[in-house]
Structure 1
Amino acid sequence: METLIFEIQIHASPEKVWSILWDDISYRQWTTAFTEGSFYQGTLKVGSIVKFFDPQNNGMYSRVEKNIPNKEMKFLHLGEIYDGVEVPQDWGEATEAYILEENEEGTLLKSKINTSDEFKGFFEEKFPVALEIVKNLSEIQL
């Protein structure tokens, strides 16, 4: 398991960045960096299961480990979804966290990913693009 950290300074409030990250319409916009047409189902309450899908009903499912509004969201990835069917995976502590730190310039958004070598290259390629989209959406929709 390797920890990857990506960060970007955004000239918007943590509340604005949070809404861009998790509101349905803007979530679908910034996650196009990973897969066009991405969306999630479920609630973001701690302990709940969230399913992340592509348009073909494939994706992964995760448990919400932490949800402190406007500050931090953390998921533990549990398995993959194929044609809507959940397939558990032994990924250990495969987590994905979004940490928002308010500062004088707005918000520093950090993404901290614990991942296996299998997914490292994907995250290194896609996450900076995704964060740039979050930045653009947050700053133009003030």
Structure 2
Amino acid sequence: MEKLHFSIIINAPKEKVWETMLGKDTYGKWADVFIPEIYYAGDWSKGSKILFLAPDETGKISGTVNRIKDLGS
């Protein structure tokens, strides 16, 4: 299988990129491309639970529960 690699240069400080990717007000704006109307409940602090939620085709809310781990471990 052929592997594809894409890269992009973002002209912004890394803090702004993380804020845009993970902020409650901005997460759904980019993640909606993959899962329409997705949002999350919870926070990104180590050890916390976070729920990723979205309505299905009938309007019922469903999703997954995840636990945030320290990426350094």
Cα distance change on mapping 1:62 and 1:7 into 2, 3 Å: farther
- How many residue pairs match? The answer is 64
Identity %: 30
Q: Please tell me whether the aligned partners of residues 46 and 67 of structure 1 are also in contact (alpha carbons under 8 angstroms).
A: no
Instruction: Name the residue aligned to 1:80.
Output: none
**Higher normalized helix content (fraction of residues):** 1
Q: Which residue of 1 aligns with 2:41?
A: 41
CA deviation after TM superposition for structure 1 residue 66, in Å: 2.3
Write the distance in 1 (CA, Å) between the matches of 2:18 and 2:49. 19
> Which stretches in structure 2 are left out of the alignment for 5+ residues?
none
Q: Deviations for 1:75-130, whole angstroms, at most 9, x for unmatched residues?
A: xxxxxxxxxxxxxxxxxxxxxxxxxxxxxxxxxxxxxxxxxxxxxxxxxxxxxxxx
Shift of 1:27: 0.3
Give the residue type in structure 1 aligned to 2:46. Answer: V
In structure 1, the gaps of 5 or more residues are 69-142
TM-score after normalising by structure 1: 0.40
Cα shift readout 1:3-31 (whole Å, capped 9, x = no counterpart)? xx865321111011011011112101011
TM-score, reference length from structure 2: 0.74
2:66 to 44, 62, 68: 62
Greater share of strand = 1
CA RMSD of aligned residues (A): 2.1
How far 1:67 moved relative to its partner? 6.6
Query: 1:23 maps to what in 2?
Result: 23
Distance 2:6 2:47 in 1: 25
Give the drift of 1:45.
1.2
Which structure is higher in RCO with an 8 Å CA cutoff and minimum separation 6?
1
